[in-house]
């Protein structure tokens, strides 16, 4: 089954063709980060406009690169939630038009479910159940993934997402936007014990909090600036990265232990962080569990992951009419049938 998938929830316009949920026939991603970097963050209205300008050409490119004709498309899939509402609406509107004109079914996909499904494209034999840690610019969740379409959040961030915290510190360190990868690069040259940063506690053992940690790091920078002292930027980046990773690793480990599944899956943009990949993998191995991670190119937003999840949503009976609406917020447990 060939699924034509669209992803426009934030600042990447992405179109892909995916076969049977596991094989990428083509995947094109146009990032708008250069545009938003001018403002130090995503400007929703600008994101929507750029999606509108790009989506038709990217669709033609995706079909060309997959060597397929329009008639070879069996179904259309689109991210309908969560994300920037204007940006989502562009993808949803366009996907509806394509589904209508091709007379093909339309499958709505939750963005975070898509991030998890990126792993099905990288690991042929991987199948639920598993524990999942999803870490992106907008979300941080620990999940019990019982089946392809049946999942439950055990914990989430109480404030900032992990990627958002990385981006905020990176911005004040002058590393540009989004600065998660650059911060991690700088951290590799620093000493993780250079600064003492807090390890936030939460009532629910699987919830996380990153805003206090971010504030502590920013205070170190502000204090030094007021006193005219220089800051060991690489040391601060390394101390911050270790604090974030410890928070994520310790909670994922205990969730994985409690759920008792053989496998754990990492997903989302911050899943490209090398320290997180190494530390989580080593810690899980020590307790007899295996970690699966998407290839680096599938960690960030893309449409192939939406096409992968759409296949399993389809098998489970999920489809929608052309009255589908986008939603800025939607729980991962929600299922749409219209």
Kindly report each contact of residues 87-90 with a partner whose C-beta sits within 8 Å and lies 24 or more positions away, as own/partner.
Answer: 87/8, 87/9, 87/10, 87/11, 87/44, 87/47, 87/48, 87/51, 88/8, 88/9, 88/326, 88/327, 88/328, 89/48, 89/326, 90/8, 90/48, 90/51, 90/52, 90/55
Site for Zn ion in 251-290 (CB under 5 A): none
Decide whether 83 or 235 has the Cβ nearer to Zn ion.
83
Buried b (16+ CB within 10 A) or exposed e, 253-292: bbbbeebebebbbbbbbbbbbebbbebbbebbeeeebebb
Residue from 136, 263, 289, 320 that binds Zn ion (CB under 5 A)? 136
| DSSP assignments along 39-76, one per residue | TTS--HHHHHHHHHHHHHHHHHHHHHHHT--GGG--EE
Residue from 166, 195, 206, 210 that binds ligand KG4 (CB under 6 A)? 166
Which window, 136-144, 182-190, 233-241, 329-337, contacts Zn ion (CB under 5 A)? 136-144
7 near ligand KG4, judged by CB under 6 A:
no
Could you tell me the two tokens for 333? 């447990």
Q: How far is the CB of 151 from ligand KG4 (least distance, A)?
A: 17
301 near ligand KG4, judged by CB under 6 A:
yes
Decide whether 42 or 95 has the Cβ nearer to ligand KG4.
42
CA atoms of 43 and 11, how far apart (whole Å)? 9
Residue from 184, 289, 309, 320 that binds ligand KG4 (CB under 6 A)? 184
Decide whether 10 or 95 has the Cβ nearer to ligand KG4.
10
272 near ligand KG4, judged by CB under 6 A:
yes
Decide whether 99 or 175 has the Cβ nearer to ligand KG4.
175
Q: How big is the site for Zn ion, counted in residues (CB under 5 A)? A: 2
Which window, 35-43, 214-222, 270-278, 280-288, contacts ligand KG4 (CB under 6 A)? 270-278
Q: How far is the CB of 244 from ligand KG4 (least distance, A)?
A: 8
**Interaxial angle between packed helices 233-259 and 162-172, expressed in degrees from 0 to 180 and rounded to the nearest 10:** 180
> At a CB cut-off of 8 Å and minimum separation 6, what does 282 contact?
none
300 near ligand KG4, judged by CB under 6 A:
yes
Which window, 45-53, 117-125, 134-142, 246-254, contacts Zn ion (CB under 5 A)? 134-142
**Interaxial angle between packed helices 211-227 and 162-172, expressed in degrees from 0 to 180 and rounded to the nearest 10:** 10
CA atoms of 323 and 236, how far apart (whole Å)? 49
With contact defined as beta carbons under 8 Å apart, do 269 and 136 qualify? yes
Residues 31-50 as x/- pattern, contact with ligand KG4 by CB under 6 A: --------------------
Q: How far is the CB of 135 from Zn ion (least distance, A)?
A: 10
Q: Which does 239 bind (CB under 5 to 8 A by kind): ligand KG4, Zn ion, none?
A: none
Buried b (16+ CB within 10 A) or exposed e, 18-55: bbebbebbbbbbbebeeebeeeebbbbebbbbbbbebb
Decide whether 192 or 268 has the Cβ nearer to Zn ion.
268
Decide whether 47 or 181 has the Cβ nearer to ligand KG4.
181
Decide whether 11 or 301 has the Cβ nearer to Zn ion.
301
Site for ligand KG4 in 105-164 (CB under 6 A): 136-138, 163
Q: Which residues bind Zn ion (CB under 5 A)?
A: 136, 301
Summarize as ranges the residues that interact with ligand KG4 (CB under 6 A).
Answer: 10, 136-138, 163, 166-167, 178, 180-181, 184, 268-270, 272-273, 300-301
């Amino acid at each position: 089954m060939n699924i034509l998938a669209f992803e426009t929830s934030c600042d990447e316009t992405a179109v892909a063709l995916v076969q049977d949920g596991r094989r990428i026939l083509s995947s094109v991603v146009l990032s708008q980060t250069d545009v938003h970097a001018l403002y130090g963050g995503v400007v929703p209205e600008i994101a929507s406009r750029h999606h509108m300008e790009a989506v038709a050409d990217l669709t033609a490119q995706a079909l060309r690169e997959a060597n397929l004709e329009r008639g070879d498309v069996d179904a259309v899939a689109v991210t309908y939630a969560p994300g920037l509402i204007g940006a989502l609406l562009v993808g949803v509107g366009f996907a509806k038009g394509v589904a209508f004109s091709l007379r093909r079914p339309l499958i709505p996909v939750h963005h975070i479910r898509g991030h998890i499904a990126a792993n099905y494209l990288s690991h042929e034999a991987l199948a639920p159940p598993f524990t999942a840690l999803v870490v992106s610019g907008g979300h941080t969740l620990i999940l019990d993934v019982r089946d392809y379409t049946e999942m439950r959040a055990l914990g989430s961030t109480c404030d900032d997402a992990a990627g958002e915290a990385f981006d905020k510190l990176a911005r004040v360190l002058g590393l540009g936007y989004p600065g998660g990868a650059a911060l991690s690069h700088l951290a590799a040259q620093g000493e993780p014990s250079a600064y003492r940063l807090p390890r936030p506690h939460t009532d629910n053992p699987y919830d996380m909090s990153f805003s206090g940690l971010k504030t502590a790091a920013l205070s170190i920078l502000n204090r030094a600036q007021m006193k005219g002292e220089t800051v060991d930027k690489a040391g601060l980046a390394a101390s911050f990265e270790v604090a974030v990773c410890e928070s994520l690793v310790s909670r994922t480990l205990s969730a994985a232990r409690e759920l008792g599944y053989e496998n754990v899956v990492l997903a989302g943009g911050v899943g490209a962080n090398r320290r997180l990949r190494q530390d989580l993998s080593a810690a899980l191995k020590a307790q007899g569990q295996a970690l699966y991670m998407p290839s680096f190119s599938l960690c960030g937003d893309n449409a192939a992951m939406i096409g992968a999840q759409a296949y399993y949503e389809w098998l489970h009976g999920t489809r929608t009419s052309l009255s589908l609406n986008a939603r800025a917020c939607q729980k991962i447990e929600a299922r749409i049938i219209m």
